[in-house]
Structures are given as C-alpha cells and as structure tokens.
Structure 1
Amino acid sequence: MLGDRGSDMAADLLIVRPLGLVGIMIGAGLFVVSLPFTLPTGSTGEAAREMVGEPFEYTFNRPIGDFNHCGADRHPCGGAPY
C-alpha cells in the first residue's frame, strides 16, 4: 500500500483493522435487515458471505500489512475458496 513494510503494518494496525471492525458491525446490521428479503429467495448464505464473511476475513484472516492476500493459503482477499 504505502511501499515501506513497516509503514504498511502501522497503517494496517491503526487504520485499516479498526475500519474493518466497523465494516463488520455495519455489514451484520445490514444482513439482519436484509433477512426478510433474502430468506424467501434463498440468497441468505450469499448475503451473509458478502456482508459479514468477507469483511471478517479481511479484518481477522490476513497477515498484518498485506492488503491483498487472506487465509493460510494466501488467496486474494474477497476471492475466498468457498
């Protein structure tokens, strides 16, 4: 992101991860609001993955300072193998 590994780690820890927590909370709220619309259409799993799962993965399952890769297999963030 910034180029310097230490700066990337600091920016991740102080800015990106806290914003990720906020994103998870907002996504969870939106997911609950969307339930009356996603349950009848069978798209609840997809909505949960997009609104909560991906922000959760980006916030908690990513090496600090690495803004592109998530998970133990280092797949591209947002492109989880599920």
Structure 2
Amino acid sequence: MPLIERFEYIVVSIWFLVVLPNICIKLWAACRAVKRISPIKQRTSLIVFLILFFVLSNVLDERRLIRQFADLYDNFSFYFVYAYIPLLF
C-alpha cells in the first residue's frame, strides 16, 4: 500500500482539522475583545495577532522555551483571574 506508507501524515492532517477551529475561535474572540475595548478595527487587531502568533511560533522552537512560555502564561493568567479581576469590582 504505497498510498498509506506514512500513516502519521494522515493522522496529523486530521488532527489539524481538530486544532484549527479552536485557534480560529480564540483569535476571533481576542480580536472582538480588542474591538469592544478600544477603537482599533477588528481587522487591524487580527493582523497584529497573526503576526505575533507567527513570530512566537518561529521563536519557540525548543521544548524548553515552549515550557518557559507556558509557565509564564500560566502565572500571568492566575494573577489576572484571581487578583486583577476582583479588584475591578
């Protein structure tokens, strides 16, 4: 079966169909939030987010760097949810 010699190509392609809608929905929500909070157009914020996404995906190429970025994001999210948001109310 020369068509399916590399089965992981098929699996990765199918997994991409699972991941892509999640990325799109989160990008749309982020752009929508920027539009509602500031006078910046949604298209402009989308371009900025896509450039940021592209740069981060090219810079974070080692497992160690990805783990450090994830830890930094986790800490920021924790303090944002449990410290900053309650202070607003």
Q: TM-score, normalised by structure 1?
A: 0.40
| Higher relative contact order, chain-length normalized (CA < 8 Å, sep 6+) | 1
Q: Which has the higher strand share?
A: 1
Q: Which has the larger radius of gyration?
A: 2
Structure 1 or 2: more helix by fraction: 2
The two structures have a TM-score, normalised by structure 2, of: 0.38
